[in-house]
Structure 1
Amino acid sequence: MLTVLRNSWALLLGMMLLMVGNGIQGTLLGIRGGIEGFSTAQMSYVMAAYFLGFLFGSRMTPEMIRRVGHVRVFAALGSMISAVLVAYAAAPDWIAWMLMRAVIGFSFSGVYITAESWLNNSTTNETRGQALSLYMIMQMIGIIAAQALLNLGDPSGYILFVIPSILVSLAFTPILLSVSPAPPFEATKPLSFIALYRASPLGCVGMFLLGGIFAAQFGMSSVWGTAKGLTVREISIFVAATYAGGLVFQYPIGWASDRIGRRPLILWLSVLGAVAMLWATLFDPGFGGLLVVAVMMGGISNPLYSLLVASTNDFLAVEDMAAASAGLIFINGLGAITGPVITGWVMDRIGPEGYFLFMAILFVALAVYAGWRITQRRVPVADQTGGFTPLSPTASVLAVEAVVEAAAQDTAEEPAAPATPAGAEAGAAAVPEMPGDGAGEAPGARG
Structure 2
Amino acid sequence: MLIVFRTSGVLLLGILLLMIGNGIMATLLGVRGAIEGFSTQAMAFVMAAYFAGFLGGSRVTPELIRRVGHVRVFAALGSLISAAMILFPVFTEPYAWVVLRLVVGFCFAGVFVTAESWLNNATPNETRGTAMSIYGVVMMAGFVVAQGFVARGDASGFVLFILPSILVSISFAPILLSVTPAPVFESSRPISLWEVFRASPLGIVGLFLMGGVFSALFGMASVFGTTAGMTAAQISTFVAAIYLGGMLLQFPIGWISDRMDRRVLILCVACVGCFAAALAGIGVGGYPGLLATAFLLGGMANPLYALLVAYTNDYLAYEDMASAAGRMVFVNGVGAVSGPFVTAALMDWVGASGFFVYIFVLMLGLSGYAVWRMSRRPSIATEETGSFTAVSPAASPVAMVYAQEAAYEADEEAAAAS
Q: Shorter chain as normaliser: what TM range?
A: over 0.9
Q: Does 1:32 align with 2:54?
A: no
Q: Which residue of 2 aligns with 1:104?
A: 104
Is the helix fraction higher in 1 or 2?
A: 2
Q: Which residue of 2 aligns with 1:331?
A: 331
Q: Which residue of 2 aligns with 1:229?
A: 229
Q: Does 1:287 align with 2:287?
A: yes
Q: Which residue of 2 aligns with 1:273?
A: 273
| In structure 1, distance between residues paired with 2:187 and 2:11 | 21
Equivalent position amino acid for 2:391 in 1: L
The Cα of 1:187 is off from its aligned counterpart by: 5.0
Q: Does 1:341 align with 2:341?
A: yes
**C-alpha contact (below 8 Å) 1:278/1:360 kept by paired residues:** yes
| In structure 1, distance between residues paired with 2:171 and 2:413 | 38
| In structure 1, distance between residues paired with 2:262 and 2:321 | 16
Q: How do residues 239-388 of structure 1 correspond to structure 2 at under 5 angstroms?
A: 239-388=239-388
Q: Which residue of 2 aligns with 1:54?
A: 54
Q: Which structure has the greater CA radius of gyration?
A: 1
**C-alpha contact (below 8 Å) 1:113/1:397 kept by paired residues:** yes
Q: Which residue of 1 aligns with 2:121?
A: 121
1:141-162 Cα offsets, whole Å, 9 max, x none, are 1111000011232100001001
| In structure 2, distance between residues paired with 1:153 and 1:416 | 54
The Cα of 1:178 is off from its aligned counterpart by: 2.2
- Percent of aligned positions with the same letter in both sequences? 54
**C-alpha contact (below 8 Å) 2:258/2:382 kept by paired residues:** yes
1:201-259 Cα offsets, whole Å, 9 max, x none, are 00110000000000011100000000001111111111011001001111111111111
Equivalent position amino acid for 1:96 in 2: A
**C-alpha contact (below 8 Å) 2:81/2:168 kept by paired residues:** yes
Q: Does 1:132 align with 2:115?
A: no
Give secondary structure in 1 for the equivalent of 2:267.
helix
Q: Which residue of 1 aligns with 2:184?
A: 184
| In structure 1, distance between residues paired with 2:352 and 2:3 | 47
| In structure 2, distance between residues paired with 1:327 and 1:338 | 17
Equivalent position amino acid for 1:347 in 2: M
Q: Which residue of 1 aligns with 2:74?
A: 74
Give secondary structure in 1 for the equivalent of 2:415.
coil
Q: Which residue of 2 aligns with 1:161?
A: 161
**C-alpha contact (below 8 Å) 1:190/1:326 kept by paired residues:** no
Give secondary structure in 1 for the equivalent of 2:386.
coil
TM-score w.r.t. the length of structure 1 is 0.91
Give the number of aligned pairs.
418
**C-alpha contact (below 8 Å) 1:277/1:293 kept by paired residues:** yes
Q: How do residues 412-427 of structure 1 correspond to structure 2 at under 5 angstroms?
A: 412-415=412-415
The Cα of 1:416 is off from its aligned counterpart by: 6.7
The Cα of 1:388 is off from its aligned counterpart by: 1.0
| In structure 2, distance between residues paired with 1:39 and 1:294 | 24
1:178-216 Cα offsets, whole Å, 9 max, x none, are 212223233545520110011000011000000000001
| In structure 2, distance between residues paired with 1:91 and 1:335 | 29
**C-alpha contact (below 8 Å) 2:271/2:363 kept by paired residues:** yes
| In structure 1, distance between residues paired with 2:18 and 2:124 | 25
Equivalent position amino acid for 2:7 in 1: N
The Cα of 1:138 is off from its aligned counterpart by: 1.3
Q: Does 1:145 align with 2:145?
A: yes
* Structure 2 residues without counterparts, runs of 5 or longer: none
The Cα of 1:268 is off from its aligned counterpart by: 1.4
**C-alpha contact (below 8 Å) 1:261/1:379 kept by paired residues:** yes
The Cα of 1:140 is off from its aligned counterpart by: 1.3
CA 1:417–1:380: 2 relative to 1, 3 Å: farther
Give secondary structure in 1 for the equivalent of 2:135.
helix
Equivalent position amino acid for 1:134 in 2: I
The Cα of 1:413 is off from its aligned counterpart by: 2.2
Give secondary structure in 2 for the equivalent of 1:89.
coil
Give secondary structure in 2 for the equivalent of 1:391.
coil
**C-alpha contact (below 8 Å) 2:132/2:390 kept by paired residues:** no
**C-alpha contact (below 8 Å) 2:81/2:104 kept by paired residues:** yes
**C-alpha contact (below 8 Å) 1:190/1:327 kept by paired residues:** no
TM-score w.r.t. the length of structure 2 is 0.97
**C-alpha contact (below 8 Å) 1:270/1:363 kept by paired residues:** yes
| In structure 2, distance between residues paired with 1:341 and 1:361 | 15
Q: Which residue of 2 aligns with 1:434?
A: none
**C-alpha contact (below 8 Å) 2:189/2:319 kept by paired residues:** no
1:300-321 Cα offsets, whole Å, 9 max, x none, are 0111011101111111122222
| In structure 2, distance between residues paired with 1:414 and 1:127 | 14
Q: Which moved more, 1:352-361 or 1:120-129?
A: 120-129
Moved over 4 A (4+): none
| In structure 2, distance between residues paired with 1:24 and 1:90 | 17
1:330-384 Cα offsets, whole Å, 9 max, x none, are 1000000000111001101111010000110001100000000000011222122
1:389-431 Cα offsets, whole Å, 9 max, x none, are 111111111111011111112112223799xxxxxxxxxxxxx
**C-alpha contact (below 8 Å) 2:276/2:294 kept by paired residues:** no
Equivalent position amino acid for 2:160 in 1: L
| In structure 2, distance between residues paired with 1:189 and 1:15 | 30
| In structure 1, distance between residues paired with 2:65 and 2:6 | 26
CA 1:315–1:294: 2 relative to 1, 3 Å: same
**C-alpha contact (below 8 Å) 1:241/1:291 kept by paired residues:** yes
| In structure 2, distance between residues paired with 1:11 and 1:411 | 27
Q: Which residue of 1 aligns with 2:211?
A: 211
| In structure 1, distance between residues paired with 2:197 and 2:26 | 32
| In structure 2, distance between residues paired with 1:263 and 1:200 | 11
Equivalent position amino acid for 1:402 in 2: Y
| In structure 2, distance between residues paired with 1:186 and 1:226 | 45
1:81-136 Cα offsets, whole Å, 9 max, x none, are 10011000111111100110000000000000000111111112112112111122
Equivalent position amino acid for 2:192 in 1: S
**C-alpha contact (below 8 Å) 1:259/1:382 kept by paired residues:** yes
| In structure 1, distance between residues paired with 2:44 and 2:168 | 25
**C-alpha contact (below 8 Å) 1:384/1:417 kept by paired residues:** no
**C-alpha contact (below 8 Å) 1:246/1:300 kept by paired residues:** yes
* Structure 1 residues without counterparts, runs of 5 or longer: 419-447
**C-alpha contact (below 8 Å) 1:62/1:187 kept by paired residues:** no
